[in-house]
Amino acid sequence: MKSADRGGGVKKAPSRRSGGFTLIELMVTVAIAAIVLALAAPAFTDLIARNRMTAAVNTFVTNLQLARSEAVKRGSAVSLCPDNPDTDEIDCSGDTDWDVGYLVFFDPDENGELANPEADVVRHVEGSTTAAITVTGKDEEDDFVAFLPDGSRKVLPTDADRISTFQFRDPNLSAPGTNVLIAETGHSRCEFQCADGTWKSCGTFCN
């Protein structure tokens, strides 16, 4: 039963505002979201690039450790060399560009040459899926790395500093440099470049 007011009319129920956003509220929300995304995008892009660089370095170091351990276990030299992108056959390129992919293989002659691909290859690592990361040997003799049965790295006569250095670079990073260094003992370590140009050991922080 409807109640009547003192004037005898019917009392109306209070009106309610319909749900949702007004056009102005929606435009303000979209504008704020666009500003937030614009501010976060560079940091997010840098994070992705850093993770990509870390993955490439870790993969390389893991395969160095694999080659060294296989040389000790087998009592024969095991080498790594860049893959040859100019042929469908598995072969060493003889170049210092490692981002095309690389091979881990038994190398009894300790010369960095793959004699029997079917029998000697331990692992074939595919090249980087992105052209942004480049991996190069610092010196001409860094076209292969050979680990000897005692776990040491074979040092060539032209290797003046007795350290093999492999340079990982990504121009998308503000501080693009990461190096992997292999000592004569066969141990490897990595260092990265801070924004001020200084180098720090991986796992530490820039000032």
pLDDT tens for each residue of 152-164: 999 887 776 788 8
Query: Given this model, what pLDDT does residue 135 score?
Result: 87
- Other C-beta atoms closer than 10 Å to the C-beta of 180 total 22
- Parent domain of 167: 25-201
**Any domain includes 57:** yes
**Any domain includes 3:** no
Query: Given this model, what pLDDT does residue 89 score?
Result: 80
**Any domain includes 183:** yes
Query: Given this model, what pLDDT does residue 17 score?
Result: 53
At 83, list the tokens: 């893959």
Under the banding of pLDDT at 50, 70 and 90, the label for residue 203 is confident
DSSP element (H, E) containing 120: helix 117-120
Beta bridge partners of 189: 181
Query: Which DSSP category does 53 fall into?
Result: H
- CA-nearest of 98, 91, 201 to 145 is 98
Q: Is the Cβ–Cβ distance between 189 and 201 less than 8 Å?
A: yes
**Any domain includes 105:** yes
Give me the CATH number covering residue 132. 3.55.40.10
pLDDT at residue 100 is higher than 90: no
**Any domain includes 1:** no
Tens-digit pLDDT profile for residues 101-133: 999 999 999 999 998 888 899 999 988 655 578
Number of domains in the chain: 1
> If you count them, how many residues does the chain have?
207
pLDDT at residue 99 is higher than 70: yes
The whole-number average pLDDT for the span 4-19 is 54
**Any domain includes 16:** no
pLDDT at residue 171 is higher than 60: yes
**Any domain includes 165:** yes
**Any domain includes 10:** no
| Percent of the chain residues topping a pLDDT of 70 | 82
Ranked by mean pLDDT, the top range of 44-53, 170-179, 192-201 is 192-201
Under the banding of pLDDT at 50, 70 and 90, the label for residue 1 is very low
Exposure class string for 182-201: b at 16+ Cβ within 10 A, else e: beeebebebbbbeeeeeeee
d(CA 60, CA 189): 11
Query: Given this model, what pLDDT does residue 80 score?
Result: 95
pLDDT at residue 87 is higher than 80: no
Please report the beta strands in the chain, taking only residues with DSSP state E, as ranges in sequence order.
78-82, 101-106, 121-126, 134-137, 145-147, 164-169, 178-182, 188-193, 199-201
From the number of C-beta atoms within 10 Å of its C-beta (0-12, 13-18, 19+), residue 83 rates as: buried
